[in-house]
Amino acid sequence: MTDFDPGPGLTELTAVRLVEGYRKGEFSPEEVTRAVLERAEQIQPEVNAFVRLLADEALAQARESTERWRRGEPKGLVDGVPTTVKDILLLRGTPTLKGSKTISAQGSWNEDAPSVARLREHGAVFIGKTTTPEFGWKGVTDSPQSGVTRNPYDPTRTAGGSSGGAAAAVALGAGPLALGTDGGGSVRIPASFCGIFALKPTYGRVPLYPASAFGTLSHVGPMTRDAADAALLLDVIGAPDHRDWSALPTAPCPFAAALPGGVKGLRVAYSPSLGGQVAVQPPVAAAVRRAVERLAELGAYVTETDPDFTDPVDAFHTLWFSGAARVTRQLGPHQRELLDPGLREICATGARLSALDYLAAVDVRMELGRRMGRFHESYDLLVTPTLPITAFEAGAEVPKGSGHRRWTGWTPFTYPFNMTQQPAATVPVGVDGNGLPIGMQVVGARHRDDLVLRAGHALYEAGVAGTAPKVTK
């Protein structure tokens, strides 16, 4: 691998551009895959985005794809496109260890998760498995099994989580498409910190199997270089699978086809701080406001207003902590000692919760969903900061001196929309004074993933979205 010249810019191309290049014969999937694997090996020592690179398998898939394109018979929408898979999702032939020393790599590993299966059917090239905190439990990416994942802009800082490896890989050119999971912000948080686009689709839009221990909070979503790539990826993975009884039918029209609609005439609610509930860093607030003003210039009807809810963090904790207790319920005392100490702590809290506690949290969730349903009768989209802060020191669950106890203290804009199952994306809209990315969150009504993607795409087209990551050594 080390004697291969990656070539000019192949690792910086979007999936849409790669497919176009394959069609025109400008370059081959094998050339691109070699370049991406070289890039992945280059970045791995500093950012630690991968738990496993699959060079031999990826090159074999790329050679097969190259031959299909040579014959003019591509297998699907993303034939030959390098793709990564978060190590929470099953990838056939590869262990899925979920960041935990309690899971053995032994076994046949002979099944794909639904989203992975759809990508395989469309000819994607699987580059490797990306890092996650243990069982995806927190909003930063470090684990006993794989160590700390670092930010592409400043390796002393966190990439965010729990899909931190996926975000870092996309930002640094180690594959334009990534599968992440999001139970409380886990595609949006790292995408915001790493300066890329990510979408948590409407719950059920992307089937999930095995079912998450965190229940219907957890979504599978695209993490990409821009909104057009996310739409392409969602068109591939947003297909029903019999293993998930809550999976939605295929969308009535391709998401990629809806992108040119723009934002003209859309009713956009802009909430800078959820009614003063969130303290937002001034550079973040300023960047988001500038992006909102651009939406208005593009023809959206923007109103500064707030959704009608108070912070549902206590109910979220009940749902989240009980899920953590469930995922570890069969571990013995020795295995529990191997767990991330923070995870062990919330598992103990979750184990003390009763069924009545859980159902009371479900009641809060249902009321929150009702309020947001009513809100979206007046507004097509809600826009907020994705996070109130930019990336902080790597290896910590919360920023030093913040006073927060858990990761939910600095993610108040993300987890409410896991509770309501709405589509929510993050769009990179600038950097702070330290050059760290800032994300803007775009939330739609349930089943209106198309509007969320349209708004994100409009910002890319207008030159508002998109930041170039620093290249690590």
Pairing type for strands 381-385 and 267-270 reads parallel
Question: Token digits for 81?
Answer: 């496109």
Q: How many angstroms separate the CA atoms of 320 and 156, rounded?
A: 29
Active-site residue, 162 included: yes
Average pLDDT over residues 228-248: 97
With CA atoms as reference, report the closest residue to 148 among 364, 428, 329, 392. Answer: 392
Options 65, 100, 162, 218, the catalytic residue: 162
pLDDT of residue 470: 55
Mean pLDDT (whole number) for 42-66: 98
Q: Is the pLDDT of residue 203 over 60?
A: yes
Is residue 467 over pLDDT 80? no
Which residues 6+ apart lie within 8 Å of 328 measured at CB?
Answer: 102, 135, 336, 339, 343, 347
Residue 129 a catalytic site member: no
The DSSP-derived string for 302-355 is: EEE---S----HHHHHHHHHHHHHHHTTT--HHHHTTS-HHHHHHHHHHHT--H
Confidence of residue 6 (pLDDT cuts 50, 70, 90): very low
pLDDT single digits (tens) 133-190: 999 999 999 999 999 999 999 999 999 999 999 999 999 999 999 999 999 999 999 9
Chain-centroid distance of CA 302 in Å reads: 27
What is the Cα–Cα distance from 427 to 441, expressed in whole angstroms?
6
- The pLDDT value given to residue 3: 36
Q: Which residue has the tokens 């203290």?
A: 409
- The values of phi and psi at residue 458, to 5°, are -60, -40
Instruction: Tell me the mean pLDDT in the region 88-93.
Output: 98
Q: What's the token pair of residue 164?
A: 């931190």
d(CA 239, CA 249): 7
Residue bearing the bigger pLDDT, 376 or 107? 376
Q: Look up tokens 């409380």; give the residue.
A: 184
pLDDT of 60 > 60? The answer is yes
* pTM across the whole model: 0.97
Average pLDDT over every residue of 418-425: 98
Domain boundaries, the chain: 10-461
Mean of the per-residue pLDDT values for the chain?
Answer: 96
What's the rounded mean pLDDT across residues 422-427? 98
Q: Any idea what DSSP says for residue 406?
A: S
Model confidence at 7, pLDDT cuts 50, 70, 90, reads very low
Residues 6+ apart with CB under 8 A from 8: none
Rounded CA separation 265/220 (Å): 30
> pLDDT grade, residue 440 (50/70/90)?
very high
**Cβ neighbours of residue 138 closer than 8 Å, sequence gap 6 or more:** 161, 162, 342, 343, 397, 406, 407
- Among the listed residues 65, 115, 146, 186, the single catalytic one is 186
299: left (phi over 0), alpha (psi -120 to 50) or beta: left
The catalytic residue among 86, 129, 138, 200 is 86
285's tokens: 């607030």
pLDDT tens digits along 297-346: 999 999 999 999 999 999 999 999 999 999 999 999 999 999 999 999 99
| pLDDT higher than threshold 80 for residue 5 | no
pLDDT at residue 468 is higher than 70:
no
- Superfamily per CATH, domain 10-461: Amidase signature (AS) domain (3.90.1300.10)
Rounded to 10 degrees, the C-alpha dihedral 299/303/304/310 comes to -120
Residue 212 appears among annotated catalytic residues? no
The answer, yes or no, to whether residue 387 has pLDDT greater than 50, is yes
Residue 107: the pLDDT is: 87
425: CB partners within 8 A, 6+ apart: 188, 197, 198, 199, 200, 227, 230, 441, 442, 452, 453, 455, 456
